[in-house]
Amino acid sequence: MYDGSNFYGYQGQPKVRTVQGVIEDALERIFKYRVYTHAAGRTDAGVHACNQLVVFDCPNPRMTNEDVKNAMNANLPSDVYVKKVVDLPEKFNPRSGVKKRIYHYYVLNTRYPDIFRRNYVWWFPYELDVSSMREAARYLEGEHDFTAFRKSDPDDRRNPVRIIYRIRILRMRGGILLFRVEGRSFLRRMVRNIVGTLVKVGVGDWNPTRVKELLESRDRSNAPGSAPPNGLYLYSVHF
């Protein structure tokens, strides 16, 4: 798990601090040479993870899984923590081998902000109609072309067809709204774009059927802005 507040995203990049970078730095200190890793999801800058899956080949077969876990946590910074180490099949691929990814997005829907949680929720002080957002979310469940919900990037040539198993919107204590999005795989910024669109419905600017029209248009320029990254968590990975 990691607090993404002070990272420039998960994926390793030169000259900036990334989650992959600090993990591979820690492994290099342990094993004395660079050990490369692969993850189940490449979270953006400011996005957090509760249960990210990171795969690598352990160079020292004499170390137990508990040894590896303890050594990594001794060498990682305080905003990254290894919860568990397990054995996987030799050719396991954390991208294609994952059956489900679950993202949580937290909105603090209160009159005043909580400055102590400003890096971990999206403070949104306007009234939101949860019933309308739930109605709109149903149009996004199932298999669809999510071009209208991807990050605008001409170099991204990945297939925009994705499957969303379920979207839940729950009111929690303390004015928190939880958006829970379950799917096998996601496009870049897709979950944040979904939340931003549903909030547009929640304040009454859009009716729920307009989300269906946006989805079918396959046009990102017709969509509202993304929700900010700080409310998003890679909550769980199933494989």
More confident residue, 91 or 214: 214
Asked if the model's pLDDT at residue 234 lies above 70, the reply is yes
| Catalytic position from the list 44, 87, 156, 219 | 44
φ, ψ at 209 (rounded to 5°): -70, -20
- 123: Cβ–Cβ under 8 A, 6 or more apart, which residues? 107, 108, 110, 113, 114
Mean pLDDT of 32-48: 93
Candidates 54, 27, 51; CA nearest to 39 is 54
Q: In the CATH scheme, what architecture does the domain 100-238 have?
A: 2-Layer Sandwich (3.30)
Q: Structure tokens of 124?
A: 């949104």
Q: What is the pTM of this model?
A: 0.94
Q: Is the pLDDT of residue 50 over 70?
A: yes
Euclidean distance between CA atoms 141 and 209, whole angstroms = 14
In the chain, domain spans: 4-75, 100-238
Q: Which CATH number fits domain 4-75: 3.90.1640.30, 3.20.20.80, 1.10.10.410, 3.30.70.580?
A: 3.30.70.580
Q: How many residues does the chain have?
A: 239
First to last CA, the chain: 17
Question: Same fold for the domain at 4-75 and the one at 100-238?
Answer: yes
- Span 85-107, pLDDT tens digits: 999 988 888 888 889 999 999 99
Give yes or no: 44 in active site: yes
